Every structure is written in structure tokens, then in C-alpha cells.
Amino acid sequence: MRVAVDRPSTDKDCMHFGRPLEHSRASKHVDPAAPYRLLIADDQWEIREALRLLLKAEGYQTELVDGPQAVLASLERDAFDLVLLDLNYTRDTTSGREGLNLLSRIRSIDEHLPVVMMTAWSNVDLAVEAMRGGACDFLQKPWDNQHVLGCVRSHVQRYRALCKQHRDLDREQMDAIATQRRLLPSYVPSCAGYEMASAYIPARSVGGDYFDVLQTESATMLCMADVAGKGVPAALLMANLQAALRPLMREGTSPDEVCRRLNQHAHSSGKFISFFHALLDAGNRKLRYANAGHVAPLVIRADGSWERLITGGAVLGHFDDWNYGQGEVSLNPGDRLLLFTDGLVEAANAQGEEFGEEHLLQVAVENRQRPAEELKRVILHAAMAHCGGEFHDDATLLVLAIK
């Protein structure tokens, strides 16, 4: 029997469980092959028309609006390469306050979109305030045509280049996500004598947590790792770790020797990896393990007592040569084994208070008689309720229930 891993499988799921790579709204929608599109906002018809004719001669497409509400409606509806924005409107003709407030609202829609401010009552203080508010440039009316064209050309080209960078990053991100999900197990095995359930929640679309389960005729191998760092670099290092680990798991290499060899492999990368590896003999219910600096797994006994699995040594990659210790524990009917990464216990609420190992232990002890799948969901629900669903680090949980 195989049990599905609980993990995000779509971009929408990643949005729910974690915080994906964020780019500007417009940068995702601007067609790189389309002509430049500019939004011109001024309450004077002759100003709007003069700018339209000037920019049309240079190949720019324009949309003309006469006030703040029309600006916001256009930005919500369409994508633009630049906004030419008047500071002064009929309600507030000289202070520029209405234009500055509108600038702030534009920035909340798209923080990268170039906004060039215009006014006939310019002064140094107003220009400085506009630039601090997010304007990329400042034009005084009446304007010099060549100066306007040069200003617009510079900013729209820079914005298109930024949009391309974001699209390239998105493609790299999606490739990394697909690669990482192929590395993580789609199912965890379950057989007579025990059952397992697992969950993986990345803080970003790509994370640095890793776990694996491999079943042979004689034993079941479990491992969990937390690669230093986040994002694509951590995912690549995790892939490298898996490539070195899988052959050792198939050979049934002892946990201490697995840690020793992976430590030598990791040392060359210059990165640190916390790692836990165990061999479960379901026949005699013995678990042999080695803990390389990983947050200690918990064995919850049927009577409510518990113990932490700490025997092992330093994190992988810190020392070039390290002989790891190996521990052994008996697992009896009714016991529960919890493997997890620090992202689970370090999930914090708005006050910065962590979920904590003590809270995790309390939830696990109180629900120790539940099947593996139910216990996993109870623990995740408690952690997510504590942090409001916002995990700031990758969180992974593996629950093993002895029948």
C-alpha cells in the first residue's frame, strides 16, 4: 500500500501554503513584442492632446485620462510601460497633493511601473517629495519636446528590460519547482505493522527541505534534511544530496556510514545540511538511526512518555572528516515517530512567538492514539493556526505509526 504525500501541487497551492516569488503586476502582462503603451493623465484636454501627438510621431501608443479615478481604472484594466502623471488637478490646483496621493496608490498596484510627474507649479521641495514617493522622473510644463522624448525612451526601455528579467526568473522558478517535485516522493510506503503520512510545505515556491522513504525486503529507510538557504540554490543542493544518497539507501548502508559519506560529499559544496537517516526493521520493530545536526525526531510512546533521537554528530559539510555515532530505539505498538524540519517548530505568529517544540510535543502526546494521517493533519492544523498560515521557512513532517 502507498500513501500520497500531502504537498502543494499547483501554483495556487503554493500561494496558499507559502509565499511565491513576487513580481510587479504589469511585468507579468506586458507583451515584449507589443509597441510601448503610455498612460497620460492631465485635467487639461490640450495638454493630453499635445503629448499624444508628440508621442504618436515616435511610435508610442497612448491612452488619455483626465483624473485620478480614471488612472486607477486604466491600470487595473490594462498594462502600460509608463505613466505621465499630472501633479495638479481641478480640486487641488497648486499644492500637488492630489497627484502625490495618486502616485502612492499607483505604487500599491505596481511598484516598478515608471511614473513621470508633471506640473506647471514645480519647486524643489515638491520634486523631492514626488521622487521619494516613487516617481522615476519630473517634468516641468511647458516642456521641451526632446527632453520629454528622451525621458520617456529611457524609462520605458529600462522597464521592458526589468520585465524580461522577471519573466526569465519566473521560467527558472517553474523549472526548479518541477525538478524539486520530481525529487520528493509522490507516495510513502505503508505495510503490515506500521503506517506513514507526510507533508511538505515550502515557504517559497522552491525550498531547501528534503525527505525520502525507500522500502526494501528487509527494511524501510527514512531520511530528512534541511539545506542551508532558500530558493533555487537550496533546491539545487538538495538535488545533489539526493543523487549521492539514493545509491547508499538502496545498498542498505548503515545510518552512521551514510552520514559519514554524505558529509564528505557536502563539504566540497561549502554549504551546511542538517540530516537524519534511519533504518526500520519492521519485523523486530528496531530503528537504527544517525542524526547529523538535525532537529531531533520525537518518539511518542503509547503511554504518553517520549524521547528525542539525538545520537549522531555535526551537520553535514561543517567538518571535512567526522565519524558519526549511531543510536537504536525499539518501537512498540501504539508508538508514534515524528520527523520534522525546524520550519515547523519555528513558525511564528504576529508577535514573533514560535510554535515551538513543546507545543508540537503537547499536540502529539494528546493525539497519540490517532492514525498517522490524522495525527499529521492535527499537527499541521495547530502549526498553521499559530502562524496564520504564513510559514517563513520550509516545513516538512513525517509521521510513522506503529500498529
Domain stops at, among 172, 195, 219 = 172
Cell (9 digits) for 334 = 501504539
Structural domain includes residue 247: yes
Structural domain includes residue 177: no
Together in a domain, 57 and 88: yes
Rounded-to-integer distance, Cα 221 and Cα 328, Å: 14
Q: Is residue 39 a contact partner of residue 70, using CB atoms and an 8 Å limit?
A: no
Structural domain includes residue 49: yes
Number of domains in the chain: 2
Together in a domain, 110 and 238: no
Q: Residue 284 is inside which H or E element, if any?
A: none
Q: How far is CA 289 from CA 68, 192, 249, in A?
A: 65, 21, 13
Domain stops at, among 141, 172, 203 = 172
Q: Is residue 51 a contact partner of residue 65, using CB atoms and an 8 Å limit?
A: no
- Cβ burial, residue 354 (10 Å; 0-12/13-18/19+): middle
Per-residue pLDDT of the chain (403 residues; tens, 9 = 90+): 444 456 544 333 332 333 333 444 444 456 677 889 999 999 889 999 999 999 999 999 999 998 889 999 999 899 999 999 888 776 555 566 778 888 888 988 888 999 998 877 656 577 777 778 888 888 888 889 999 999 999 999 999 988 888 887 777 667 666 666 666 666 666 666 889 999 988 766 556 788 989 888 778 999 999 987 666 677 777 878 888 898 998 888 999 999 999 998 887 777 789 999 999 987 888 999 999 999 999 999 999 999 999 999 999 988 888 999 999 999 999 999 999 999 999 999 989 999 999 999 999 999 999 999 999 999 999 999 999 988 888 899 999 999 8
CATH number, residue 207: 3.60.40.10
Structural domain includes residue 239: yes
Q: Is residue 310 a contact partner of residue 331, using CB atoms and an 8 Å limit?
A: no
Task: Collect all residues with Cβ–Cβ distance below 8 Å to 69 and sequence separation of at least 6.
Answer: none
Q: Helix or strand or coil: residue 314?
A: coil
Together in a domain, 198 and 126: no
Domain range enclosing 360 = 2-21+184-402
Together in a domain, 80 and 215: no
Task: Collect all residues with Cβ–Cβ distance below 8 Å to 332 and sequence separation of at least 6.
Answer: 285, 301, 302, 402
CATH number, residue 49: 3.40.50.2300
Rounded-to-integer distance, Cα 332 and Cα 311, Å: 20
Q: Helix or strand or coil: residue 4?
A: strand
State the residue for C-alpha cell 493525539. 367
Together in a domain, 8 and 35: no
Structural domain includes residue 179: no
Of 61, 68, 70, the C-alpha closest to 98 is 68
Task: Collect all residues with Cβ–Cβ distance below 8 Å to 142 and sequence separation of at least 6.
Answer: 120
Structural domain includes residue 279: yes
Task: Collect all residues with Cβ–Cβ distance below 8 Å to 251 and sequence separation of at least 6.
Answer: none
Together in a domain, 238 and 313: yes
**C-alpha 366: how far from its chain's center?**
32
Together in a domain, 188 and 303: yes
Together in a domain, 349 and 379: yes
Q: What is the DSSP string of 340-352?
A: E-HHHHT-B-TT-
Q: Where are the alpha helices (DSSP H) in 285-349?
A: 342-345
Cis amide bond preceding 297, omega within 30: no
C-alpha dihedral sign at 235, 236, 242, 244: negative
Model's pTM, two decimal places?
0.63
Structural domain includes residue 26: no
Instruction: Estimate the share of the chain in helix, then strand, then coil, as percent rounded to the nearest 5.
Output: 40, 25, 35
Together in a domain, 300 and 194: yes
Together in a domain, 253 and 311: yes
Structural domain includes residue 381: yes
Q: How far is CA 294 from CA 308, 323, 398, in A?
A: 11, 16, 14
Together in a domain, 59 and 106: yes
Together in a domain, 135 and 220: no
Q: 39 has which bridge partners?
A: 63, 83
Q: Which amino acid is at 305?
A: S
Q: Helix or strand or coil: residue 318?
A: coil
